Amino acid sequence: MRITFRLTLTSILLTMLVATVTSIGLVSYLFGRESVESLSHKVTEQTLGRIEQRIDSFLKVAVAISTFGRNLAAAGQVDPRDFPEMQAFFSQAMAVRDELTYLGLGLETGEYCFVERKHNGDLLIRETVRDEQGEWTVRDYTPDGAGRKYLRSREIDDYDLHSRPWYRKGAAAQGPVWTESYTFWSLGDRPWVPGITLATPLRHADGTLLGVMDADFDLLALCRFLQDLQDQLPGYAFVVELRNDGKRFAIAHPDYTKLVQVVAGPRGEKHELVEVAKVGDAHVRAFMERVPASVPRHTGFVPVGFDSGEESWLGGYRMLGTPGAPRWLLGMMLPESAVMADVHRNNRSTLLLGLVGLIGAAYISIVISKRIAGPLKALAADAAAIGRFELDPKPVEHSPILEVDQLLGAVSEMKSGLRSFGKYVPTDLVREVLASGREAELGGERRTLTVFFSDIVGFTSVSERMDPEALVAHVGEYLGAMSAEVLAEDGTLDKYIGDAVMAFWGAPRRDEQHALKACRAALRNQKRLRELRAKWQEEGKPELYCRIGLNTGELIVGNIGSESRLNYTVVGDAANLASRLEGLNSHYGTSIMMSSSTHALVKEAVVARPLDRVAVKGKKRGSLVYELLGLKGETDEEAAAFAQEYEDALACYFVMQWPEAARRFETLLQKRDDTAGRILLERCRIYIESPPPADWTGSFQMTSK
């Protein structure tokens, strides 16, 4: 049984496309999901690290202040029983440590003083003492310079400092100890929020207890920090305290109102922390159900995934790792829908593209199956054009004869490959090799050529500010524009060396105007680059500047390399000098520098100024170097006049007329800021004070590239 060519081709194309789209879609989804989950874990872990750093800063401040206060008391520098003195110390400490909410001191006598920070930033000083009648009295003050200012007082009943949990825990300890979290009183504009206390015992020299100092900070600032993180991320984080009795309490959350509940007590309503199992956040409850009952203190990051009933979540937890810190678990969760949004969008795009591809493939297969043989004449014409290295792309002809159709396709592919090959080697060279009918061989010949080197100024700093992909595209646009100007002046592109361009004129095709064309290409490059900088500025991309070096001399040009790999390039000292001149631009503040040998060939056609007589690194003899300013008839008259004045000043310099040369350079610099002029002026001043030897040639030796 035979089937039609149309049905066969259509079936094969559609089957392959369906299989390919399905495979790509499945692999894309699986890898995308894995990558996104890995990224979400990294984001979660990094965010938990930020939270731990924030908590650690709170804890360390409390420990530092408490330890400092205890040391002051032990050294006798402050008297804990002198409440005004202690309150002054507390006020100063809180003025420089805004993390603290509260600093206080309770004595065994039952008296108590503290300094509290309100949420508007003001400090409140309060002390509880017995008055002359033996009644407990509360007095409020505000800081007033180095002292305090009285506000109000009131009597209280049923006051017992020793019943406070923090006092009992501190009195039983030998050093600073953290309490479990509890609900801080709502004073002034402060809401009912969780807080924690560092209790530090103060003892007499005989070891008996003098009192307990408490350093508190409420967790409202931490809750607001978590709220800020929630604004930056699709999910949110929370903190849970794991107590020794196995209970778990949520103590920090972007919505702090979920952390405290109102319960009835023997003296009326009171505010208490909410256990995790009852916290008003179903996601936190579901998350903590995945956390084991016992979590070691030094547990690192553990990923967690769960379903809250409405959607799936990704996240993780870790324990607070600060030595001596409370047993706090830091958790964070991200909705899977937000994390996987890009993956799902990519899947939809893949499906849509697949359907479009199927429709397109069906149409193309029908059209191809209807095509009749392509003319053999077109094949012969293409073969002849290839022999001449004429590779312009043309529509591909087709034939129902398999062998002819394959040959037509092969010819088209060969032309495409040769076009790519032409981007790596000079087109004229390829045509010359093809016309000769000989295989390229190792070897070269001596010719006088003009070599061109250009390099981007400050490329390293530009590359550090851009992503690799954006950098490649940006540099590609630059190299494309610069190369186009070189080719427009019949130059031979030798190679790209990173961001640098090397080209030469005079080979493989001989050209008597090689030096002038190199100069024109350099000027066109700078002009084109100015246009590009205006465009890049509008696009917000880094503006690129380049330096160019030109030199003319005798070089070896030809096939350099090995028998297995050849490169059509130039070799010789003249090429090295062009590279050195490119770098020398940075010393003199110029953009195009050429040697005296190049200048001798183009001086009737260009405007240039002699910069200096320089011996580049690696050379003992110096020669004049020139700055190329433009073509005659196209250069600004003011620039040309400035160049002439500079040349006159340089002439005085070379004949050792230092005062006259210095005067002329000073006059030039008054008209225009010029790096080369400043350099020569400085040398004149040095030589006036300390003349060079009698055999001085005017050559300056460069010690760097």
**What does the pLDDT look like over 458-467, one tens digit per residue?**
988 888 888 9
Where in the sequence is the domain holding 392, given as residue range(s)? 371-422
- Residues 246, 382: one domain? no
Burial 249-278 (b: 16+ CB within 10 A, else e): bbbbbbebebbbbeeeeeeeeebebbebee
Q: What is the structure's pLDDT at 372?
A: 45
Residue closest to 325 by CA, chosen among 181, 428, 467, 431: 181
Amino acid at 537: Q
| Residue linked to tokens 């790999």 | 565
Q: Which of 388, 422, 456 is the last residue of a domain?
A: 422
- Residues 78, 205: one domain? yes
Q: Which of 315, 338, 361 is the last residue of a domain?
A: 338
Torsion of CA 340, 341, 346, 349, to 10 degrees: 150
Using alpha carbons, list the distances in angstroms from residue 77 to 71, 74, 94, 148: 9, 8, 19, 20
Tell me the C-alpha distance between 701 and 619, whole Å: 8
365 in a structural domain: no
Q: What is the CATH number of the domain that holds 618?
A: 3.30.70.1230
Tell me the C-alpha distance between 690 and 682, whole Å: 12
Rounded mean pLDDT, 423-432: 55
575 in a structural domain: yes
361 in a structural domain: no
37 in a structural domain: no
Q: Quickly state the pLDDT bin for 436 (edges 50, 70, 90).
A: very low
Collapsing DSSP to helix, strand or coil, 135 comes out as: coil
300 in a structural domain: yes
Tell me the C-alpha distance between 290 and 286, whole Å: 7
8 has a pLDDT exceeding 90: no
Q: What is the CATH number of the domain that holds 256?
A: 3.30.450.20
Sequence-distant (6+) residues with CB within 8 A of 229 are: 47, 50, 51, 236, 237, 254
Q: What's the domain count of the chain?
A: 3
**306 forms bridges with which residues in the sheet?**
313
Q: Chain-centre distance of CA 527, in angstroms? A: 31
- Residues 408, 451: one domain? no
| Residue 589 structure tokens | 């503040």
- Residues 589, 654: one domain? yes
Tell me the C-alpha distance between 497 and 505, whole Å: 18
Residue closest to 242 by CA, chosen among 285, 297, 282: 297
427 in a structural domain: no
Tell me the C-alpha distance between 533 and 301, whole Å: 48
Q: What is the structure's pLDDT at 287?
A: 92
**265 forms bridges with which residues in the sheet?**
268
- Residues 615, 581: one domain? yes
33 in a structural domain: no
Q: Which of 277-286, 409-418, 473-482 has the lowest mean pLDDT?
A: 409-418
- Residues 470, 589: one domain? yes
Give me the helix-helix angle, 83-96 and 5-74, nearest 10°. Answer: 150
Q: Which of 17-21, 403-407, 428-432, 618-622 has the lowest mean pLDDT?
A: 428-432
Cα atoms found within 13 Å of the Cα of residue 229, Cβ hemisphere only: 27
* Alpha helices, DSSP H, located in 261-322: 282-289
- Residues 319, 458: one domain? no
Relative to beta strand 443-456, strand 302-307 is unpaired
- Residues 482, 383: one domain? no
516 in a structural domain: yes
Q: What percent of the chain has pLDDT over 90?
A: 34
Q: What is the structure's pLDDT at 377?
A: 53
Q: Quickly state the pLDDT bin for 5 (edges 50, 70, 90).
A: very low
383 has a pLDDT exceeding 70: no
- Higher pLDDT, residue 622 or 14: 622
Residue 657 CB: number of other CB atoms within 10 A?
Answer: 15
575 has a pLDDT exceeding 80: yes
Residue 102 contacts residue 214 (beta carbons within 8 Å): yes
- Residues 394, 254: one domain? no
124-133 pLDDT, tens digit each = 888 988 887 8
563 has a pLDDT exceeding 60: yes
Q: What is the structure's pLDDT at 89?
A: 86
pTM of the model: 0.47
Q: What is the structure's pLDDT at 438?
A: 47
Residue 452 contacts residue 548 (beta carbons within 8 Å): yes
- Residues 395, 280: one domain? no
- Residues 400, 324: one domain? no
Task: Determine the longest span between alpha carbons in the chain, in angstroms.
Answer: 125
Q: Quickly state the pLDDT bin for 476 (edges 50, 70, 90).
A: very high
- Residues 530, 582: one domain? yes
Residue 259 contacts residue 291 (beta carbons within 8 Å): no
| Residue 483 structure tokens | 């190369």
